[in-house]
Amino acid sequence: MGEFNDSKKRLKEFLEHSREDLGKIVENIEEIVPEREDIHKELKEAFKETADNFNKSLKDLSEISNGELNKVGLKGKQLEVKLKEYEKYGKNLSLLLRISLSCQS
């Protein structure tokens, strides 16, 4: 049962961090891709719509069974590998975002 609770905790943290990371990108989209003025407003509106999706996913996660997590590869080693890869690329994305914003200043 411990592994199951740990998997759910890690998935919850992943969803929360993903929402936060996307929010930072959307919040700074004008600085990240100033040449794409055509998408700035639409991207911000689209991100607002995702709030319900994130909230629903977090709620659904609290109700999902061990078997369901296992069936979709979101438990144990499979989850560890997926989160590790996301974290690796997420760090690169954060670094690029910081560089981009500092160059704009």
pLDDT tens-place string over residues 68-96: 988 988 888 888 888 888 887 776 666 66
pLDDT at 41: 92
> Which amino acid, 2?
G
Distances (CA, A) of 86 to 11, 50, 52: 12, 20, 22
Taking 50 as the pLDDT cut, the residues of the chain under it are none
- Helices 76-104 and 2-27 meet at what angle, rounded to 10? 20
Half-sphere exposure (Cβ direction) of 13: Cα atoms closer than 13 Å? 12
B/e letters for 70-98, b = 16+ CB within 10 Å, e = fewer, are: eeeebbeeebeeebeeeeeeeeeeeeebe
